[in-house]
Amino acid sequence: MSIRRRLFVLGGIFILPVLGVGAWNEYTDYAHRERQVRQAVAQEARYVGAEFERLLDGARSLVETVAHVPAVQQGAWPACSELLTTLRPFNPGILAIAATDSAGTVMCASDQPPGASLPTVGDRPHFRLALRQESFVIGGYAYGRQTAGHVMHVAVVRRDPVGAVAGIVFATISLDWIAARYARSAWSEDHVVTVADAAGTVLMRQPGHDRFVGKPIPEAAWSRLRQLTGNGSFEDVSPLDGVRRIVGYVAQATPSPGLFMAVGVSRQSAFADLHSATLRGILASGIGILAAFGFAWFTARSLIARPFRQILGAAKALAAGRLDARSPVPGSGEFGQLAEAFNVVADRLTSEIRGKDMLLRELSHRVMNSLQMLNSTVLLQQRAVKDERTRELLGQVGGRVMAIAEAYRQLHRVEGEDVIDVGDLIAEVAEQTCHSLLADGSMCQIAVQPLTLAPDRAIRAGLIANELVMNAIKYGGGPQAVVRVDFAPEGGWAVLAVRNRKVEQQGQAGGGFGSRMVSLLATDLGGTVAMREEDGEAVVTLRFPAQAPTLAAAP
């Protein structure tokens, strides 16, 4: 991983806690807002319940007062009709006031002449409930037969002068009038108020009262709602319009049979400002993070990556053999101190390498002199020997010694590097061998390309080249032989090819000491030696890896 990426990862690690704190703040803000909204809608629902309670208390006072009027108790129906007609206009929202007998026949009613034929209310729930409970009751949603509108009824029993139940007194309240009382500008599709009766039928709903009044709440939803008591809040999808809302409610336990009142605020509306703030915060944070990372990228590039690359480049150059490589990073900061330390190490290393080079050159010079002395001794011995075979063997030994001496001379020329240009080494070895064994040195053609190897591998390649050239001269016609030596790297391999015009039967690998030595040295190099005939020539090819093979780890 690059240092720039490491810095970005480090910056990301630092940003994570900041993002975590921001996320926690958002969470707490949303939780606090939800508590506020729940409290607010619950409070609004209580206000609605209190207002409905006052309205019902007024209606209750009206019907109870009428029920105790002597004309009503005594069944003086003309006087009763006159009284109810007088009272109704003083009670806004009351469409009708009436008194019945025990069978539900309307005996007197407001705005109706005495003796008028009016429909019975014996089948109405509020009539049956009032007679059964003998107390003030609230009926559910109804559509008025006489008033032709959405209404609800309140009723109380009427007793005769001796206290026996003689019928009921009831009032018809306009639900449209109630809805008008709640027609406020604050209501919207996101903020609604609903009142339902005990059967789950909508009595009033704002906004959109005309669309919802008399509409039943689906049974599955109503079965959950009627389990609620007292007041509180919940969140659910409205069964009437499918909008998810936070709802505050009041489930009226009294007056019997009870009403359900709810105020709901859509979640989207309740959290709209927080959503907007969150989006703005995310956008601002994103822009800030991008700006910070962009600034960090440019800063890292100029203040960190650039001096780091300079020091790294100097280190690579030094590792590649450029002993004069130094880091130019100035300043007294950490990179400046690192560059200064690197330059000090490079100076000391260069000094030690140059000292080692001097020692190596001296050692190589002495080894080369010793090998030359050994070669001179072998040549003197060769001249003193009369046996031709012995003279030939001593000549081969001298050639091998000179091949090694040439390798040391090549090492000496490399200016302290522990490598040898094996191309130059093969060319020198082949040229010396050809000049010493051929009648005309120009009959030996040499073409090599440079390739540096470690000294031990280069010496092995030089010895193999010496043996192959000597064999090519020996079996290619002796002093009159024509020899060609080619060496070049090919795709990760080093290839040495020695050709000669075929005059005698070429020796087989492993047949003599030289052949066995070539085979062993090739194995040490990780390569192979192959011999073939081509256009009347004998061609011996050595192939070995240009890089030293990696030894497998011991199990």
Number of neighbours of residue 34 by Cβ within 10 angstroms? 17
Angle between helices 455-475 and 422-437 (to 10 degrees): 30
Contact of 113 with 124, CB cutoff 8 Å: no
Residue type, 219: E
CATH superfamily of 419-549: Histidine kinase-like ATPase, C-terminal domain (3.30.565.10)
| Pure H helices in 193-305 | 209-212, 219-225, 267-270, 272-299
Q: Where are the domains of the chain?
A: 57-169, 419-549
CATH superfamily of 57-169: PAS domain (3.30.450.20)
Edge-to-edge strands of the sheet including 444-448? 444-448, 483-490, 493-501, 537-545, 528-534
CA distance 264 to 37: 10
Q: Which pLDDT does position 256 carry in this prediction?
A: 47
Q: Which pLDDT does position 509 carry in this prediction?
A: 43
Q: Is the dihedral of CA 21, 22, 25, 31 positive or negative?
A: negative
Residues making up the chain, counted from first to last: 555
The alpha carbon of residue 77 and the mean position of all alpha carbons in its chain are separated, in whole angstroms, by 85
Q: Give the Cα-Cα-Cα angle 399, 404, 406 (nearest 5 degrees).
A: 90
200 closest CA partner among 132, 141, 147: 141
* pTM for this prediction: 0.53
Q: Which pLDDT does position 407 carry in this prediction?
A: 62
Number of neighbours of residue 468 by Cβ within 10 angstroms? 28
CA distance 553 to 555: 6
What's phi and psi for 334, nearest 5 deg?
A: -60, -40
pLDDT along the chain (555 residues), means of 10: 64 72 76 84 85 86 90 88 89 90 89 80 88 86 82 90 90 90 80 88 88 88 82 84 85 66 84 77 77 72 71 78 74 74 81 70 62 65 68 65 64 58 86 81 88 85 86 84 92 92 57 77 90 88 82 41
Q: Which pLDDT does position 442 carry in this prediction?
A: 81
Own/partner pairs, 103-109, CB within 8 angstroms, 24+ separation: 103/167, 104/167, 107/75, 107/77, 107/80, 107/167, 108/72, 108/77, 108/78, 108/80, 108/81, 108/84, 109/81, 109/84
Edge-to-edge strands of the sheet including 202-206? 202-206, 191-196, 260-266, 244-251, 230-237
Number of neighbours of residue 95 by Cβ within 10 angstroms? 20
HEC-encoded secondary structure of 450-511: CCEECHHHHHHHHHHHHHHHHHHHHHCCHHHCCEEEEEEEECCEEEEEEEEECCCCCCCCCC
CA distance 399 to 267: 100
3-state secondary structure of 222: helix
Number of neighbours of residue 381 by Cβ within 10 angstroms? 14
Going by the DSSP 8-state scheme, the letter that residue 330 receives in this structure is: -
The alpha carbon of residue 1 and the mean position of all alpha carbons in its chain are separated, in whole angstroms, by 18
- Cα atoms in the Cβ-side hemisphere of radius 13 Å centred on 285: 14
The alpha carbon of residue 170 and the mean position of all alpha carbons in its chain are separated, in whole angstroms, by 70
170 closest CA partner among 318, 312, 255, 67: 67
What are the C-alpha distances in Å from 437 to residues 92, 111, 140, 447, 482? 141, 151, 132, 19, 11
Going by the DSSP 8-state scheme, the letter that residue 165 receives in this structure is: E
CA distance 484 to 501: 9
Q: What is the secondary structure of 90-110 as a DSSP string?
A: GSTTEEEEEEE-TT--EEEET
Q: What is the secondary structure of 498-548 as a DSSP string?
A: EEEE--SPPPPTTSSHHHHHHHHHHHHTT-EEEEEEETTEEEEEEEEESSP
Q: Is the dihedral of CA 237, 238, 239, 242 positive or negative?
A: negative
What's phi and psi for 517, nearest 5 deg?
A: -65, -40
b (16+ CB within 10 A) / e for 45-55: bbebbeebbeb
